[in-house]
Amino acid sequence: MSRLLSSRERSNIGRGREHHGPRLSKEVIMSDYRRARKRIEVTVGESVRIFRELQELSQNQLSEITGIPQSTISAIERDRVNLGVERAKVLARALKVHPAVLVFPNWDIKSESAA
């Protein structure tokens, strides 16, 4: 059910200030929410799929760019075929990422560095 706007609300609209309905309470109760994870675990295949989708490429398009058969890209994304160094380089170039991002998607530089 809609209501008529007050003269103040109508004048605000004319000044570029839109009416957004009643104001909401600013009180937020944090216990009502679950903390977001800072990191997620992904497989090599999932990382390839994620970066492919971020580039808005289909498997067929990625296949055309890289020369890697679409069926192989599909198998890589499902972790049925190992990525391998050479394919990682070719895919990384096409996806505009460093090969290490694809090969080591869960690498934590803070806890796994050699230093």
Rounded to the nearest 10 degrees, how much is the dihedral formed by the CA atoms of 42, 47, 49, 52? 150
First to last CA, the chain: 65
- Could you tell me the CA-to-CA distances from 72 to 7, 87, 101 in Å, in that order? 65, 10, 19
* pLDDT score for 31: 73
The dihedral over CA atoms of 43, 100, 113, 46, expressed in degrees to the nearest 10, equals -10
Domain ranges of the chain: 44-107
Per residue in 41-80, pLDDT (tens digit) is 889 999 999 999 999 999 999 999 999 999 999 999 999 9
- pLDDT for residue 9: 65
- 41's CB contacts (< 8 A; 6+ apart) are 106
Class of domain 44-107: mainly alpha
d(CA 103, CA 65) in angstroms, rounded, equals: 19
